[in-house]
């Protein structure tokens, strides 16, 4: 076990993304920040780094605790990081808000169909 690994590999091993290519794409698009800075997918991650991860509607702020470059079970992946208390509160509040109100366009993928457009218009009225 080494003290550093590639960022995209760590994100995949920690189960934030299903594939390494999805993790690489997210880092390239600036959806992952390391210590509040944009970085490249091949940048090294080490214990103590703070990562901000934006994936869909989810936003995490985590502190790296362990470095593993192989993908294991979910319980092992959860031991690789520690979520900050502010991030945990934000995610819980967002989940509570989604329980009472779901954005009509949140589940749409791509361009809305005629049926989707009718549903959006009905929700606005």
Domain map (residue ranges) of the chain: 5-124
Taking only Cα atoms into account, the Rg of the chain, rounded to an integer number of angstroms, comes to 17
For strand 37-38 and strand 58-64, is the pairing parallel, antiparallel, or unpaired? Answer: unpaired
Give tens-digit pLDDT for 8-35. Answer: 999 999 999 999 999 999 999 999 999 9
Check whether 40 has a pLDDT greater than 80.
yes
Q: Looking at per-residue confidence, does 103 or 22 come out higher?
A: 22
Nearest by Cα to 79 from 15, 31, 27, 30: 15
Give tens-digit pLDDT for 47-76. Answer: 999 999 998 888 999 999 999 888 999 999
Return the bridge partners of 82, or none.
63
The phi and psi torsions of 34 (rounded to 5 degrees) equal -115, 120
Question: Comparing 9-13, 69-73, 86-90, 106-110, which segment has the lowest mean pLDDT?
Answer: 106-110
Tell me which CATH homologous superfamily contains domain 5-124.
RNA-binding S4 domain (3.10.290.10)
> What is the mean predicted confidence (pLDDT) over 34-45?
93
pTM of the entire structure? 0.77
Beta strands in the chain (DSSP E): 5-6, 32-34, 37-38, 44-45, 50-55, 58-64, 81-83
Check whether 79 has a pLDDT greater than 80.
yes
């Amino acid at each position: 076990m080494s003290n550093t690994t590639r960022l995209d590999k760590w994100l995949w091993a920690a189960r934030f993304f299903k594939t390494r290519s999805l993790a690489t794409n997210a880092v390239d698009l600036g959806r992952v920040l390391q210590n509040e800075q944009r970085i490249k997918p091949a940048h090294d991650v080490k214990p103590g780094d703070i990562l901000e991860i934006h994936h869909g509607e989810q936003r995490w702020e985590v502190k790296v605790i362990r470095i593993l470059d192989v993908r294991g079970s979910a319980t092992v992946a959860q031991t690789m990081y520690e979520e900050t208390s502010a991030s945990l509160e934000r995610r819980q509040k967002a989940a509570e808000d989604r329980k009472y109100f779901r954005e009509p366009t949140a589940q749409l993928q791509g361009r809305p169909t005629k049926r989707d457009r009718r549903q959006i218009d009905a929700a606005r009225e």
